[in-house]
Amino acid sequence: MPGGDDGSLRRALAALWRDPPAVAGTGVLLLLVVVGVAGSWLAPAGINDVDVDRMLQPPSWEHPFGTDELGRDVLSRVLVAARVSLQVGLVSVGIALAVGVSVGLLAGYYRGWADSVLMRAMDVLFAFPVLLLAVAIVAVLGPGLLTAMVAIGVVYTPIFARVTRAGVLSVREQVFVRAAISIGASDLRIMRRHVLPNIAAPLIVQTSLSLAFAILSEAALSFLGLGVQPPAPAWGRMLYDGRGFVTDAWWLGFFPGAAIFLTVLAFNLVGDALRDVLDPRQLTVSEARRSTS
């Protein structure tokens, strides 16, 4: 089974490290993980500590992100809400990755009727707009964090199924796969040892990009009241609560919106860098440029 050696891995990591946007995006994501894990300890105040005497105060040393209409500290709520966004992104994309890869692997490897049935089912899901399908699923199952994760996972499953199937159709015709079939290796072993490792690169890129869109989808569902339910903080819900104070208290919408923007931008920067780094043609071109410079 051909695969990347240690030298290729080192070159890929070195190329990633030389990309300033990728380094910046990775730094933001690492900060997001730290905040998501330790947000409750980093928050300077309780997320639901109501103080009507301090309502709608602008950013200050005491409240760096200001206070909301109930006097709650906006910084604390933004920090704790990071855990929700990170949890939804990881779980929902994990669901989409597991189901989509399984479907695409079976469809691409066995082809025939299995390919037709499985991929037509994916085409049905793919025909719906992402947010509309997610709203429909949440409306049926009921609003909440768990249903939001399931809904987002379902709507992104067809993307992973298509990416996987395309890779499998190409790898299946390679000599090393035909050799494994000729010596009597089981289908499960061939898919696990020979096919999956050789289609991992596009799946890694798709995962990083899907995490960004999953966080956006969760924010949209929370904004519509179908995601995380009050009083638990969520960036999308905080945007909804601050929509009526745009002129009088700009900080209510600015800081959760900035958190969404930076998180999605970081995932996209890392995803674009991974796409370039994991593409052998791009890596060869970059090496050729360095050798002639």
Domain ranges of the chain: 6-292
Asked if the model's pLDDT at residue 72 lies above 80, the reply is yes
How many residues does the structure list for the chain? 293
Q: CA-CA-CA-CA torsion for 40, 41, 44, 50, nearest 10 degrees?
A: 40
Exposure string for 1-37, b = 16+ CB within 10 A, e = fewer: eeebeeeeeebbeebbeebeebeebbebbeebeebbe
Look over the chain and give the mean of its residue pLDDT values, rounded to a whole number.
87
Looking at mean pLDDT, say which of 14-23, 165-174, 261-270 comes out highest: 261-270
Identify which has the larger pLDDT, 2 or 119.
119
* Confidence band of 259 (pLDDT split at 50, 70, 90): very high
Predicted local confidence at residue 282, as pLDDT = 52
CATH code reported for the domain at 6-292: 1.10.3720.10
- Cα–Cα separations (whole angstroms), residue 163 to 107, 120, 168, 237: 11, 15, 9, 33
pTM, to two decimals: 0.85
**pLDDT, tens digit, 9 for 90 and up, residues 21-30:** 889 999 999 9
Asked if the model's pLDDT at residue 99 lies above 90, the reply is yes
Peptide bond into 64 cis (omega under 30): no
Predicted local confidence at residue 262, as pLDDT = 95
* Percent of the chain surpassing pLDDT 90: 54
